[in-house]
Structure 1
C-alpha cells in the first residue's frame, strides 16, 4: 500500500528544483525534467506551486533559510564567519550558481525578498552590537562591513580560471579569513 507524504515530496521537489534551476535558470528549466528528478509527476509540481516562477522563488527562500541556519553569523569573529561561508559555497557550488541565476533573472527584486531582507537585517544588527562592544571596527557602517564580508566569503565562486590561479586552492579560505579579520579589526 502506497502512503502519501506530501512533505517528503515537497522536499524532493525543492532539491530537484535547485539542481534544475542551478543548471538552467528559471527560463531554461523544464518542469517535466525537474519532476522526473524528484520522482513525482509534473502535475504534482503545480499542486505545490502555482507556476515555475513560484517554485524558483521558493528555492531561493529555502537557500536563505538553510544558509542562515547552517552558517550563523559570529560578529565577534567575522573572519571565521566568512571562512564558514566560503566552505559552504565550496561544498555546495550549485547554491551559488542558483543565486547567480536568481540575480540575473530577477534583477533588483532578488535583493528585496522578505527572506533576504530579514536575514540581512539580523546580520547588520549583530555587527552593530559588536561595534558597540568594540569588537568590530566602527570606521565603516555595519551594512558596508556585511557587504564586504559577504563579497570576500564568496570571492572564489563562479570565477574564471585565471582569477582562481592567483591563489592556491588550499590557501583560499585562509586568505578570506585573514582579509576579513584585518578589515574588521577595531
Structure 2
C-alpha cells in the first residue's frame, strides 16, 4: 500500500488533539501520539516541527473550526448562543485545550495571538456593522460589542470548563440534566443581554 502523507498528518493531528486535551502540553508524550496515530515520531517532527508547534497547530485548527461552524447573529443572539452551546458540548476538547494553554503558556504571547486577535476583531466588526448599540459613538460601540462578545463566550464556556461544579451547584444527578438546564438559562440570559445594550455602553465609558 502506498504511503499517504496527508492521511498520516490527519492521524497525527487527531491523536495529538486527544493527547493534549487529556494531558496538556507539558504532560503530553510524543511517543503516545505516535502510537495512537500509527506513525513514527520522526513523522511528527517532520510535519509539525515538535510538540509545542503541534499543540499550537491543534489549538489554531480547533478555534478555526468553531469560527466557521457557528457565529453570533446580531438579529438572533439567543439562537446563536444556543447553537454555540451545542457545538461546545459536542467538542469539549476545545475548552480543555484553552485551559491548558492558560495554565502552561501564560508567560508569553501565543504563537498565533495576532491571527486570533484579528479573528475576534472581525467578529466585533460584524456585531457593530449589524447594529449593536447603534446610539453610541463609534469607539464606544466597538467596546460595547467586545464586551458583549466576551461575556457571551464566558457565559457558554464556563459550563464546560467546570462540568462537575455545574452539576453540583444546580443539584442535578447527571451532567446531562445540568447541561439541559444551563442551555435554557444561557439562552435566556443572552436574550436579555442583547435587549439591553446600554449595559455594555455604560461599561465602555459612553456618556
Question: Secondary structure of the residue that 2:72 maps to in structure 1?
Answer: coil
Q: Which residue of 1 aligns with 2:120?
A: 120
Q: Which residue of 2 aligns with 1:49?
A: 48
Q: How far did 1:101 drift?
A: 0.5
Residues 111 and 117, structure 1, Cα contact 8 Å, conserved in 2: no
Aligned in 2, Cα 1:141/1:62: closer, same or farther, shift over 3 Å?
A: same
Q: Distance in 2 between matches of 1:141 and 1:49?
A: 39
TM-score by length of 1: 0.88
Q: How far did 1:110 drift?
A: 4.0
TM-score by length of 2: 0.79
Q: Which residue of 2 aligns with 1:173?
A: 183
Structure 2: any 5+ residue segments left out of the alignment?
135-140, 171-177, 197-207
The reply to whether residue 131 of structure 1 matches residue 108 of structure 2 is no
Q: Distance in 1 between matches of 2:57 and 2:99?
A: 16
Which structure is richer in relative contact order (CA contacts within 8 A, separation 6 or more)?
Answer: 1
Q: Deviations over 1:84-143 (max 9, x none)?
A: 221111112122111110121121524962331122111101111122585xxx6x6111
Count of residue pairs the alignment pairs up = 182
Q: Which residue of 2 aligns with 1:37?
A: 36
Structure 1: any 5+ residue segments left out of the alignment?
none
The reply to whether residue 148 of structure 1 matches residue 147 of structure 2 is no
The reply to whether residue 161 of structure 1 matches residue 161 of structure 2 is no
Aligned in 2, Cα 1:132/1:103: closer, same or farther, shift over 3 Å?
A: closer
Residues 9-48 of structure 1 aligned to structure 2 (within 5 Å)? 9-48=8-47
Q: How far did 1:38 drift?
A: 1.1
Q: Distance in 2 between matches of 1:3 and 1:114?
A: 39
RMSD: 2.2
Q: Deviations over 1:13-62 (max 9, x none)?
A: 11111100011111111101011111111111011021110101101110
